[in-house]
Chains A and B, each alone.
Chain A
Amino acid sequence: MMSEGSSFMKGMVLGGIFCLVMSFFENFNSGTHSEVHEHLHHHLKPLSKDELEKLSESQMSDLPLQVRVYCLIMVTPKLLVHWATANDTWSKHCDKSVFYTSESSKALEAVDLQEQDEWARLRKAIKHAYENAGDLRWFFVARPTTFAIIENLKYLVLDKDPSQPFYIGHTEKSGELDYVEYDSGIVLSYEAMRRLIEMFKDEDRCPERGHALWKTSEEKQLATCLKYSGVFAENGEDAQGKGLFNKKSVSSLISDSMGQNPADVVEACCSDMAITFAGMSPSQMQVLMYGVYRLRPYGHDFHDSLTFLPPKDSDND
């Protein structure tokens, strides 16, 4: 009995030392790695006002045609109220918005993928979108629990070439993998979609049904497949470095700011050109719709170099 006890203690001590050594090793490694990553365009910002003004007349007239967005909204009947809200609010500002569902619902229209597995469904939706893109070159993937301001998305990618691979959103790290967080929306350029769909054919590196004991989330599987095709996640931010893709609701971010920056709550909180917010209730989304597209102080104007017209047949924007 005594020998067992002392073996146990020896084991514990050795285990502890092993852990310490491993964590130091890991820190050292990831430290150098993240530096390299920082060099590769990890942060993506929109054009500055000066740069916009320097563009020629012909460039300006081309831009609104180039930055047209195809929205893929991944729904399920369980999210019916959010689905209806997305349908009634922000998705009207996409050049084309298509709802992809796991099973059809009598209440709302969608492309029925008849697929319960989230990753398989995402793959099918991506393939469908690419085939039906027409001349649209930018793709935005979101759940109906996300609210997106498409005009600000267009502003972010205004000067980016969609025939280059772009994979943009709110980036997070999982070990070695940089991935775009799903809830705050995923932006893909035409070239990124093309490479991704090619990679779908590779059952080893980008399997449709995972063979592992545990399931990796779709956002990470997406990141992995894209990484193998040479496409890396980039964090969308404004000129001040504030994230444009938010995985929290506006009220949540305001509350955080009230705690951390009581002297300057609004300035420190969120970007003026924010693109997405997540985790909002349908009512909060209606208020956000009013707040973005209608409510404003008279006499304060922004003479933006580009104009986006409001969508037809809509009364809440």
Chain B
Amino acid sequence: MKALGARSAFYVGFVVGTCTLYVLLRQVGFTRDLGSRESEAHEKSLLEMVKEENKNWKKERLALFNLNHPHHTGEDGTLADTLYKHVRILCWVMTGPNNLEKKARHVKATWSRHCNIVVFISSVDDPDFPTVGLNTKEGRDQLYWKTIRAFHYVMDKYGDEADWFLKADDDTYVIVDNLRWILASHSPEDPVYFGRRFKPYAKQGYMSGGAGYVLSKEALRRFVEGFRTKVCTHTSSVEDLALGQCMEKVGVVAGDSRDTLQRETFHPFEPESHLTGTFSKTFWYWNYCYYPIVQGPQCCSDLAVSFHYVNPSLMYLLEYYTYHLRAFGYKYRYQPSEPNVIQDFNAPAPGKVEIGDIEEKLGVEEQEGEKKSPRT
């Protein structure tokens, strides 16, 4: 009996020993690999971040000047480049010291790289990021003060270096190339502004703040002038409505930003809500939109300009969907017309291309396109 007990104890011990060591080996193998890889990756990424930033941006006077219009391997960006030179957009992003690392950083890494100039508006100057502090405090009640001061600031410092002035939040995602497509058919000397048009409280409506809105140079001039002559004042802290009411007073027109199929381009929510959500009948949205609301896939233009309530990971996701992921050889259903590029007759800004040149370039491109596309 004793011998049997000892033998079975031996076998049990053997099995236990094998299993324990097996588990141990796997753990050690795992953790050793993981540990070294992670620390390596982290070090590399910090260095890379600094290098990348110095290559693409010129930091000057607390703003970022885009040195290269971002290009993608294998793409033909001639048309986008032409519009980049001809339709200069200054983007200012409403943020705050507590949101620089949480939100603004991701705006800087994604869509704002496509603006000609980017200014991050905060309550505190930060020469590293860089952000501009405008003598305001933080908080929802400061929004219109920030907006007023921001527009005055960009007019003062960069008024001559851009044609259009976009305001966005640090949770707005903007596709600047599509904004240029819309704006190219208008003159920056026209008193007009564009965004997601809302109808209540103002005769011609006003533009949703979160979805972003863009003022022409003339509209900006009139806004600043309006405050100088006290035609406009700080009427309320509801930034988008207050601005809309000022625009109306100074004769700036609320433009229609929809595409050629009347589909909206500026969006007050994220893509999933517009594409798949059904808004309840009592939701404020139904009473606010100036144009008829469409739910489902036709809610949104192929050439969408903005989405709101976009968190950091959604920013990178949208960047991937917009600029990276594509279906090889796919012929898009929506073939937008080319914009009528209008020349500035007063003083051609540096780098402006003659209409003739653009037409020639577009004409040549069309020919090439036809040669390569057909066979179905």
Residues of A near any B CB (own CB < 8 A): 3-5, 7-16, 18-20, 23, 49, 60-61, 64, 93, 149, 151-152, 154-155, 250-251, 254-255, 257-258, 260-266, 269-270, 272-274, 282-284, 286-310, 315-317
Contacts and interface: CB of A to CB of B under 8 A. Distances in A.
B6 A307 contact: no
B139 interface: no
A315 B298 contact: yes
A298 B16 contact: no
Contact of B10 (A8, A64, A289, A302): A8
B76 A266 contact: no
Contact of A300 (B75, B317, B372): B75
A8 B9 contact: yes
A10 B41 contact: no
Nearest to A310: B333
Contact of B177 (A9, A298, A310): A298
A269 B320 contact: yes
A7 B45 contact: no
A149 B327 contact: yes
A308 B331 contact: yes
B181 interface: yes
B283 to A, nearest CB: 18
B187 interface: no
A258 B311 CA distance: 13
B200 interface: no
Interface stretch (B60-68, B77-85, B212-220, B227-235): B77-85
Interface string B260-298: 000000000001100110000000000000000000111
Interface stretch (B149-157, B202-210, B300-308): B300-308
B159 interface: no
Contacts of A305: 329, 372
A260 B44 CA distance: 10
Contact of A294 (B5, B18, B324, B334): B334
Nearest to B270: A287
Contacts of A296: 302-303, 322, 326, 332
Contacts of A251: 313-314, 317
B114 to A, nearest CB: 8
Given A298-B79, A302-B76, A8 B13 contact: yes
Classify the interface of chain A: helix, strand, loop or mixed.
helix
Interface centre among B41, B272, B322, B330 (most CB of A within 10 A): B330
A294 B114 CA distance: 20
A295 B304 contact: yes
B160 to A, nearest CB: 25
B302 A151 contact: no
A301 B13 contact: no
7 contacts: A16-B20, A19-B21, A155-B328, A270-B325, A295-B304, A302-B75, A304-B329
B372 A303 contact: yes
Contacts of A316: 296-297
Given A20-B25, A315-B298, 20 more contacts: A7-B6, A15-B20, A19-B18, A254-B320, A258-B316, A260-B45, A264-B45, A266-B323, A269-B316, A273-B326, A282-B276, A284-B272, A290-B275, A291-B320, A291-B325, A294-B332, A294-B334, A297-B114, A298-B336, A303-B76
Interface stretch (B46-54, B163-171, B190-198): B46-54
B346 interface: no
A287 B276 contact: yes
B9 A292 contact: no
Contact of B21 (A16, A149, A274, A308): A16
Interface centre among B276, B297, B320 (most CB of A within 10 A): B320
Contact of A297 (B19, B22, B323): B323
B11 A11 contact: yes
Interface residues of B, number: 87
A264 B312 CA distance: 13
A258 B177 CA distance: 25
Closest 9 A/B residue pairs (Cβ)? A11-B13, A15-B17, A299-B80, A291-B321, A12-B17, A297-B177, A299-B79, A263-B49, A8-B13
B148 to A, nearest CB: 31
Contacts of A295: 175, 302, 304, 321-322
Contacts of A254: 313, 316-317, 320
B6 A258 contact: no
Contact of B317 (A18, A19, A151, A250): A250
Given A11-B12, A16-B20, A293 B49 contact: no
Contacts of B52: 263-264
B7 interface: yes
B178 interface: yes
A190 to B, nearest CB: 22
A306 B17 CA distance: 61
B375 interface: yes
Contact of A7 (B10, B333, B376): B10
B368 interface: yes
Contacts of B22: 19, 23
A15 B15 contact: yes
A85 to B, nearest CB: 10
B355 interface: no
A292 B327 contact: yes
A132 to B, nearest CB: 24
